Structure 1
Amino acid sequence: MAGRGGFGSARVKEQQARRVLDSAARQRRARKALENLEQDNSHDDPHADLVMSKKALSLFQEDSPEKQRPKRKVRTAEYYKQRFRKNLDQLLDEETSYMEEGDPAEEQVGYLAAQVPPSSKAPRSLCAVCGFTSNYNCSVCGTRYCCIRCLETHQDTRCLKWTA
């Protein structure tokens, strides 16, 4: 019946219309997606310099008959760690300056020089939609999925939609 009158599975027709990528194109897409994520993540914390208003605090405190001055809070090292927190770019710049100034005999391993050997275990296959273990790959982009519901979600929202 598929040949007569245009009957047939809509999913099969849609699958035939999709473009299938080779492994090199899939790797390029994955690298481009990672670069876009890195660009999105490399910014300063927008809330780092927010200060709580003292007027707002006084509204929630109960008034006592004798107005006593509260004791001054002791500021710990944790306070200064949070107050003067550095982003990743600042930490990397600081590390490179230490490496340039440091003694070459001292072997310091920092963020840029850290290396780990490859894992002896096989990589886990996880669904890109829900995170459960997956047994299937998308035939177009190679993304893993675990069931038809996740495949439909992947095709509707992720597969070749945002990056080309």
Structure 2
Amino acid sequence: MPNGPAFGPGGTTMYLADSALGTVYAHRVDPATGTLSDRRVFFRLAPGTGSPDGMTVDDEGRVWSALWGAGEIRCHAPDGTLLLTLAVPASQPTSVCLTGSELLVTTARYGMEAPGPRPAGRCGAVGPLPDHRAGGGRRTVMRRGPFRESGGAALKFINNGHR
């Protein structure tokens, strides 16, 4: 099942998730024709560790991907190296969006009776992610561009209407 897609800065790389295979591919894009070529595995998840779903790319070329079934958002460098894993209080994050100061996450309740304690957590609900800490105990907020320091929570939840 295809998900994404997301385009790198400059529009010459397209990332597309094959959720069923747990794989995100990177494709070269010809800017003049839109033709895709040179497909390569960008990252692949181990079986049973979630499925890549919606994603976005920041100005530095880092790919932020929601992992359905894993309750995580992962950030990968342009070469596919895993840089950061953020736990989400919902087992089914569906997509991510970078704003000027925050990473917004959509979640779904599909297949669940009601959102409740983890692993369901805030599936289909709206609410902030508790503060998290990145390297050196510093709080990090994602934005389009380099990481910056912040005293606030990094993620907010948006109900995307999936039931």
Per the shorter chain, which TM-score range? under 0.3
Greater relative contact order (Cα < 8 A, sep 6+)? 1
TM-score (norm 2): 0.19
| Structure ID, larger Rg | 1
Normalising by structure 1, report the TM-score. 0.19
The structure carrying a bigger helix percent of its residues is: 1
Name the structure where strand makes up a greater proportion of residues.
2
